[in-house]
Amino acid sequence: MGPFKLLKSSFKNIFRNRMRSLLTSLGIIIGVGSVIVMVAIGEGSRIQIEAQIASMGTNLITVTNRRGIGVATRITKADSEKLKNESTYISAVSGIRQRTLNIVGGESNWSTNVMGVEPDYLIIRSWDVQEGNFFEEDDVQSRRRVAVLGTTVASQLFSTANPIGQSIRMGTSHFRVIGVLEKKGIGAMGNDQDDVVMVPLDTMLTRLSQTRLLNSIALSVIREEFMSLAQKEIDIILREAHNTGPHATPNFDIMNMADVIAAASKTSQLLTNLLAAIAGVSLIVGGIGIMNIMLVSVTERTREIGIRMAVGARKRDILYQFLSESIILSLIGGLLGVVFAILVCKFLTDFMATPTYINPVIIIISVLFAAIVGIFFGYYPAKKAAGLYPIDALRYE
């Protein structure tokens, strides 16, 4: 029997019992659809997490104060200056001092995070100014009372009015608004990154905090491949600044954002693989369903098999006939499963705000796996059909 005639006969037998064929393929439909949806959710979440972490800065390294060693805070602006002057792998450095303050401006007030930073901070965070300007080094050195607002703070204090040039009060000090930051969105920790006010670092230290101590130092490495070298260099410079020996426990922590992204990606990938494996079980169940129906079909068509053998059909013709029907059922289920997965992912993205990403490779793998399931679970019924004796098959009632 030629391949075209074989396919025509297989489709004819499948569509002869449309409802049974559809129900037979249902397990494959659910299996393929589940695998694609689970992987799409995992990939979507991974991409979103990486984007949120990446939004925190370009090649970012953060130095923070270590807790629980008897000294609460030790990082100072002198450390920031030393790193700026001595590091060979750093392109931008900014000391950071922040605290929550109530801001009064326009006809409203708003409690928000106020950050004292240096001009390089926007470079480090890959941030830009939407309106007006950011403060410069001269503003930091002169301790000028100027402020740049995040979009959330700007809308809360001034609604639709232009905040540029307006005055706001923080504590007992009045500041002039010189800029509004572009919208940044939700951060990796679920925080609103736009709910912030930025002021010159020295202004924050002298007027709003009355301290020389920093909460952290943000640094941007010149290229991603130098992240590890930069981290080691920062450790050496700060140990020297704090008179800490090479084997002693330092009073600071260095966080490499590239490592954070890698760890988050690995965790997300493990979760995606687990979800795909769980969903893949339904593919096996679907394959068992196909094998069960094909065995029933062999029993129902025993006399037909005997007649075909009596008029010259070979065993391999019978084998290929039933095996092709099993594969076609699996492929139809796989293709319908892909359509089902696409519709579910669209629903999740549009109506449930769940990030999804369908990788075309996963679609191809899922459909191929469905075909393999059809071959594996269809082989036994096909072999059983091909192994019937013509005389016994003809006498079967």
pLDDT of residue 10: 67
User: In the block, which residue shows the tokens 């326009």?
Assistant: 106
CA-closest candidate to residue 84, choices 74, 96, 92 = 92
Neighbours of 378 (CB within 10 A): 25
**How is residue 66 annotated by DSSP?**
P
Q: Which residues of the chain have pLDDT under 70?
A: 1-7, 9-11, 13-14, 52-58, 68-73, 188-190, 264, 299-313, 385-386, 388-397
User: In the block, which residue shows the tokens 């309106």?
Assistant: 131
Instruction: Give the separation between CA 107 and CA 109, rounded to whole angstroms.
Output: 7
Instruction: Give the separation between CA 90 and CA 100, rounded to whole angstroms.
Output: 29
Whole-model pTM: value is 0.64
pLDDT of residue 133: 94
pLDDT of residue 71: 52
pLDDT of residue 99: 92
* pLDDT tens digits for range 271-326: 777 777 777 777 777 777 777 777 777 766 666 666 666 666 677 777 777 778 78
pLDDT of residue 312: 67
**How is residue 222 annotated by DSSP?**
S
pLDDT of residue 129: 94
Torsion, Cα 29 31 34 40, to 10 degrees, reads -90
pLDDT of residue 383: 76
Instruction: Give the separation between CA 397 and CA 382, rounded to whole angstroms.
Output: 20
pLDDT of residue 267: 76
pLDDT of residue 202: 94
The one-letter code for the residue type at 185 is: G
Per-residue burial over 190-221, b = 16 or more CB atoms within 10 Å of its CB, e = otherwise:
eebbbbbbbbbbbbbbebbbeeeebbbbbbbb
pLDDT of residue 339: 92
* pLDDT tens digits for range 12-55: 766 777 777 777 788 888 888 888 888 888 888 878 777 766 66
- Token pair for 321: 């006939």
Rg (CA), the chain: 33
